[in-house]
């Protein structure tokens, strides 16, 4: 099967969840598949690896806009004409060549990751032009993959897409407990763990408020944060809550360091208001870590009964769960056991097999 992957996502982010998603899919395709990837001339980027992978380079040198429109179109037409792809699976809603998706002369598969821009426009600004491009891409696709049932539900509600066009394929973790035994430094005191961006919808401020209530139950407790340095507003908030001695920001860490931070923590705390899937809770479970997560969007699908869930709009409810886990070590061990077993249900082999099923459903019907 000859599949065209447009690598627009590699133009938008050097690393990230979507990059890893396609890297895992492409690298695990069977040997009788021939993936082709349209990419810009940026060799420093981490492109997927497959023995049959063909890279179709598009050099985005500076050109006058009218000339670029013409060359983009000519290049896209040439790719279609001379390669005879069985299907196309763009990495994002726009293409490297800026052409509409229905310019492809083969069936199109689109992966929809979340509906956060449509559902939380005040918290996650996104241009109306971006929404329009996404909408056109979704409506151009003959098959759609969603990474959770919740994303599928939101897609159907917001775009009125027929359910028979949509398949759900869950993601998988890339780190597990086997990576967690290195020499990397972890906090000496007991700590909860927070991972990821701290955009407004991630609800980090509510975690700070709940954590301030929690330290009264255990004064040596820490909150370990993985991600960017605290900004001025966050630093001020931390000072107001008198949490300066209780927070440790480790910045960005390696996979092995992250696995060790997971395994040695009291629990991962994930208070996000909305997720398309939720990789950190799955990573935590695979690293034998308890999980405290919001009962919102896709997170209950990932965690199920293997973690403690709470209302992300309630500071008191989150604080109660944090304190509960401190005071109930046996329950924490039970959650670790259940979570680790649950993490085994999510594998990249399963994700790829289900993705190939979607591919075959289009190619075999032609």
281-329 confidence digits (pLDDT tens): 999 999 999 999 999 999 999 999 999 999 999 999 999 999 999 999 9
Is the pLDDT confidence value at 168 over 80? yes
pLDDT value for 112: 96
Q: Domain count of the chain?
A: 2
* Residue 100: band (very low, low, confident or very high) from pLDDT cuts 50, 70, 90: low
Non-local (6+) Cβ contacts of 218 within 8 A are: 190, 326
Q: pTM here?
A: 0.90
**What does the pLDDT look like over 182-239, one tens digit per residue?**
899 899 999 999 999 999 999 999 999 999 999 988 989 999 999 999 999 999 999 9
Same domain, 332 and 207: yes
Mean pLDDT across 118-125 = 83
Residues 17 and 79 in one domain: yes
Residues 196 and 275 in one domain: yes
What integer pLDDT is reported at residue 102 of this predicted model? Answer: 72
- Tell me: do 315 and 280 sit in the same domain: yes
Q: What is the pLDDT of residue 79?
A: 64
pLDDT of residue 320: 98
Assess whether 91 and 209 both reside in one domain. Answer: no
pLDDT on residue 14: 57
* Domain match, 150 and 255 both: no
Q: Residue range 333-360: average pLDDT?
A: 98
Same domain membership, residue 115 and residue 47: yes
pLDDT of residue 66 exceeding 90: no
Q: Are residues 236 and 132 in the same domain?
A: no
What is the band of 366 on the pLDDT scale with cuts at 50, 70, 90?
low
241 CA to centre of own chain? 31
pLDDT digits (tens, 9 = 90+) for 127-166: 677 788 889 899 999 999 999 999 999 999 999 999 999 9
Beta strands 247-251; 308-310: pairing state: unpaired
Residue-range definition of the domain harbouring residue 73: 2-171+348-363
What rounded mean pLDDT belongs to the chain?
A: 88
Domain identity same for 45 and 137: yes
Q: Are residues 227 and 99 in the same domain?
A: no
60 vs 340, which has greater pLDDT?
340
Residue 79's closest CA among 62, 109, 103? 103
Measured CA to CA, the distance from residue 88 to residue 111 in angstroms comes to 11
Within 8 A by CB and 6+ apart from 167, the residues are 143, 144, 145, 146, 354, 357, 358
Q: Are 262 and 164 part of one and the same domain?
A: no
Find the CATH number of the domain harbouring 104: 3.40.50.2000
Angle at 143 between CA 74 and CA 10, to 5 degrees: 50
99: pLDDT confidence band, cut at 50, 70 and 90? Answer: low
Nearest residue to 326 via CA among 248, 267, 280: 267
- The pLDDT of residue 88 is above 60: yes
Band (pLDDT 50/70/90 cuts) for residue 103 is confident
Is residue 184 located within the same domain as residue 331? yes
Indicate the Cα dihedral angle 255, 261, 264, 265, nearest 10°: -130
Tell me the per-residue pLDDT of 260-271, one tens digit each, with 9 for 90 and over.
999 999 999 999
* Structure-model confidence comparison of residues 12 and 342, the more confident one: 342
């Amino acid at each position: 099967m000859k599949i065209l992957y447009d690598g627009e996502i590699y133009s938008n982010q050097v690393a990230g969840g979507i990059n890893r998603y396609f890297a895992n899919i492409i690298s695990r395709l069977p040997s009788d598949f021939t993936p082709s990837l349209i990419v810009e001339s940026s060799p420093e980027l981490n492109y997927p690896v497959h023995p049959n992978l063909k890279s179709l380079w598009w050099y985005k040198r500076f050109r006058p806009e009218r000339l670029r429109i013409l060359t983009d179109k000519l290049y896209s037409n040439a790719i279609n004409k001379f390669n005879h792809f069985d299907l196309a699976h763009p990495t994002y809603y726009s293409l490297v060549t800026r052409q509409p998706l229905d310019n492809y002369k083969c069936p199109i598969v689109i992966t929809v990751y979340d509906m956060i821009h449509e559902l939380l426009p005040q918290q996650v600004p996104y241009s109306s032009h971006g929404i329009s491009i996404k909408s056109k891409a979704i409506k151009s696709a003959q098959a759609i993959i969603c990474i959770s049932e919740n994303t599928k539900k939101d897609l159907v509600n917001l775009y009125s897409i027929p359910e028979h066009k949509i398949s759900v394929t869950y993601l998988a973790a890339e780190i597990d407990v086997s990576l967690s035994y290195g020499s990397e430094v972890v906090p000496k005191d007991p700590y909860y763990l927070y991972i990821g961006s701290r955009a407004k919808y991630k609800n980090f401020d509510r975690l700070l408020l709940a954590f301030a209530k929690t330290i009264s139950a255990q004064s040596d407790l820490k909150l370990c944060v993985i991600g960017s340095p605290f900004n001025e507003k966050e630093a001020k908030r931390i000072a107001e809550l008198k949490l300066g001695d209780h927070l440790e920001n480790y910045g960005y860490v390696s996979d092995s360091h992250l696995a060790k931070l997971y395994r040695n923590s009291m629990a991962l705390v994930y208070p996000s208001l909305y997720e398309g899937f939720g990789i950190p809770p799955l990573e935590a479970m695979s690293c034998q870590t308890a999980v405290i997560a919001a009962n919102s969007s896709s997170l209950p699908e990932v965690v199920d009964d293997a973690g403690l869930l709470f209302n992300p709009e309630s500071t008191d409810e989150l604080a109660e769960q944090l304190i509960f886990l401190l005071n109930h070590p046996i329950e924490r061990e039970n959650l670790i056991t259940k979570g680790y077993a649950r993490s085994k249900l999510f594998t990249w082999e399963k994700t790829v097999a289900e993705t190939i099923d979607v591919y075959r459903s289009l190619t075999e019907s032609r």
